[in-house]
Structures are given as C-alpha cells and as structure tokens.
Amino acid sequence: MPATAINQAFLQKARRPAGLYWDTTLKGFGVRVGAGGRPVAYVFQKSGGRRSTLGRVEDVDLVEARRLAHVAAAQAKPAGPSVTLREGLARHRESMEARGCSAYSMDLIAYEVELYAPDLLDRRLNRIDHQTVADLHVETTKPRKPEPGRKLRKDAGRRRPVTANRVVRHLKAIYNTCGVPFPLDARWWRTRKNREKTTGTPPVRDLKALGAALREIDNPIRADWWRFALITGLRKEDALSVRWDDIDAKREGWLHRPNPKGGAHKAFELPITPRMREIFERIPRVEGNPFVFSGQRAGAHLVEPGSPAGCTRHQMRATWATRAEEAGCPISVMATLLNHSVKSQSITLRYSTPSDETLRSWAERVAESLYADISAGT
C-alpha cells in the first residue's frame, strides 16, 4: 500500500481497502486495515523486514502507538560493542524527546546519571556487569558532599534508597533504548524495589490548623498558592507554573495545563471554580512576568512556597483526592480531574468519559468543601 499520513482522520475514515498502510513521517510505523475496511492494529516494521504488532486500535490510542513505535525504532538500532553509557544516554534522550517527554524528565535523567555514575560514562554498556550496578546502588544510598565548584540540585543532596532505585531505573531505561540486556538480575532488582514500598502520601487532616498557618504567611501570593494547590489537586509543577494566558486559554471557564507530568501529549484542562477565580482576581499582575504566582526573580514563578503547618506540597493533592473520594466522586471523574491515566485504572473505565458539566460540578463541590475547612475560624 502507498504511504499516507497516519492520523485521526485516517483512523476515522469510513472504509479503506484491506492491507498495510505506512506512515509518511515515522519510518516503520503503520496500520493494518482489516477485511471490513476498518483499522484494526498498529504495527512496526524494522529495516530488516521483521514486523511486530504494537496494539489493537480499539485498545491503544494514536499518541501511545506512536510512542511505542519510537521506542521500537530506538531499540532497533544495534548497540554494538562501541556504545558507551554516555552515548547511550544521548540516544535515550533523543528517544524521550521524540516521545514528547518533558524537559524536566530528560534533564533529571542526564543530571543523575552524570552525578552518581561518572566513572561509568565512558564504559561500554556490555562491559558493565551485575556487580558494578549493584555496587552503584549501594554507593548511591550514602550521604554525598558536593564536589568543589559544583552545586547540587536540592533533590540530589539526600542520598537514600529511593534515589538509588531511581538511578538504576535510569540505567535500565538507557539499556532498553539501546537494545542491550540489562546486567542486573531481575530477582535482585524486584527485591530491592519491594523494600521501598510505602503507604503513599497522607492527606492533611487538620485543615483548620493549615488555614490558620496560611493566614500567618506574610507573602499573600505564597499563601494563595497553597490555597490554589489544595482546591485544585494539581501537581506541584502544574500549580506553580500557571500563566495568565492559561486562564480561559482554550475555552471560557477552563484552565489549560499544557505540559503536565508525562509531557505535552498529556495536556489537559481543569474547570475554573469560583474559588479559583477569586484567587486569580485578587493576585496582582506583575509587569513582564507571565506567571500568576510570581517569584522573586524577574519573569519567574514561585519556586519554594514553604511548608505551612508542616505540610508538604504533595499532601495538597492527596487531601483533594481523599475529600473527593469521601464525598462519593466517581473514580473516572477523579482520574480525569487529577490527570491520571484512566486506562491504568481498569478496562471498564476506558469506556467512561465524564461530561464537562459533571467535571465542573465535582470540581466545585470539592473546592467549596476544602475552602470552607481552611477558612473556619476567620
């Protein structure tokens, strides 16, 4: 079959002759059309002619299929004995960029691999054995002092098992991208990960105390950020990086989040509740600063909002989710408002798409409930 653009219009066309259709932009990516004239599966064909199925059209959306094709394309490149960890890291970054991963995720992998495994950067991947990676894991749990002339990121100075696990995951991702078997034994790795299981982030139970702590904050923008994070349930970066242009950006009454966790392809919109609108209206615009919650540096957003009443930023998200669940919010609505993948919840939820009215109703209900609690005693 001739090459064509594999897009939503192609998938939705009424009927096509049965056969394989190859994409014009992503080499090796294609769609198999069945006898009934409808697309049935995404496929990827390596240059050598070997073909694999990426998933059925009804189960995998187009964005995810393209991501899988990029991964398959990267893994199809032979690693060879000359590929070093440094070269593999560069190749993995190219793969992440092609998949639409966020700049933060790409920078974090590069930063931590270079920081914690500098002696391995110029070593060939097939020369890094099990014991080397195991020793790296143990070494990464030890306290670290910054090297002369190098400043550590705030989240890199605390060496602990969770950091070590993350570094090993970085290495495993690089190996997978380069098509090289990872040297660490799967049983050992699974045992290490099981040791790090936690019960999750607890919600804030004493919201009255949190509200009192927020009223004592001298910086009103900082205080309003905490209120905003609580009543929206947004992740830290999504809440900190809100721009004035994101408000009513795509349509009236919705807040656009263009680059959430997972990259730009997971962009979403959140209903603007009356409490959110109150916060936006009382925060003054700073000339030359596009961010709602402006920081001290010119043109930058708030970076460290503090820790009122000993609360963490992620606890705001956990508190929102807990309140929604206690109020009886359907899981599909919660997943949509929290920008969680509905497909990861259950197969049944893949067929559930909450309406805008339902999303707005629950967003307002949870926001009003939380705002009332932190305002108690005023």
Q: To the nearest whole percent, how much of the chain has pLDDT over 70?
A: 84
Structure token pair of residue 25? 């932009």
Q: To the nearest whole percent, how much of the chain has pLDDT over 90?
A: 40
pTM score above 0.75:
no
* pLDDT of 207: 94
* pLDDT of 359: 96
- The amino acid present at 364, given as its one-letter code, is E
Helical spans, DSSP H, in the chain: 8-12, 62-76, 85-98, 103-116, 130-140, 161-178, 186-195, 207-215, 220-232, 236-240, 274-282, 313-326, 331-337, 356-374
The whole-angstrom separation of Cα 275 and Cα 282 is 11
**pLDDT tens for each residue of 15-67:** 888 888 888 877 788 888 888 888 888 888 866 567 888 888 888 888 888 87
Structure token pair of residue 179? 């098509």
252 pLDDT tier (thresholds 50, 70, 90): very high
The whole-angstrom separation of Cα 247 and Cα 280 is 9
Does the pLDDT value for residue 343 go beyond 70? no
* pLDDT of 344: 59
Least confident residue range of 31-40, 123-132, 180-189, 329-338: 180-189
What is the chain's mean pLDDT, rounded?
84
The whole-angstrom separation of Cα 226 and Cα 236 is 10
**pLDDT tens for each residue of 276-314:** 999 999 999 999 999 999 988 888 898 877 888 889 888
**pLDDT tens for each residue of 96-109:** 888 888 888 888 89
The whole-angstrom separation of Cα 33 and Cα 36 is 8
265 pLDDT tier (thresholds 50, 70, 90): confident
- The amino acid present at 264, given as its one-letter code, is A
Residue 92 or 265, more confident: 92
Does the pLDDT value for residue 81 go beyond 80? no
In the chain, count H helices and then E strands: 14, 6
* pLDDT of 157: 46
User: Taking residues 324-351, what's their average pLDDT?
Assistant: 84
Residue 83 or 363, more confident: 363
Instruction: Name the burial class of residue 316, with classes exposed (0-12), middle (13-18) and buried (19+) by CB atoms within 10 angstroms of its CB.
Output: buried
196 pLDDT tier (thresholds 50, 70, 90): very low
* pLDDT of 49: 64
CA 24, 29, 34, 40 dihedral sign is negative
* pLDDT of 309: 86
Give rounded-to-5 percent helix, strand, coil for the chain.
50, 10, 40
- In the 3-class helix/strand/coil scheme, how is 148-184 assigned residue by residue? CCCCCCCCCCCCCHHHHHHHHHHHHHHHHHHCCCCCC
For residue 222, give the nearest of 290, 275, 317, 295 by alpha carbon: 295
Which residues are CB-neighbours of 258 under 8 A, at least 6 positions away?
A: 246, 264, 267
* pLDDT of 162: 77
Mark residue 18 as left, alpha or beta (left: phi above 0; alpha: psi -120 to 50; beta: remaining): beta
* pLDDT of 329: 95
Q: 202 and 371 in contact (C-beta within 8 Å)?
A: no
199 pLDDT tier (thresholds 50, 70, 90): low
Does the pLDDT value for residue 318 go beyond 70? yes
> What value, to the nearest 5°, has the Cα angle with vertex 329 and ends 326 and 334?
110
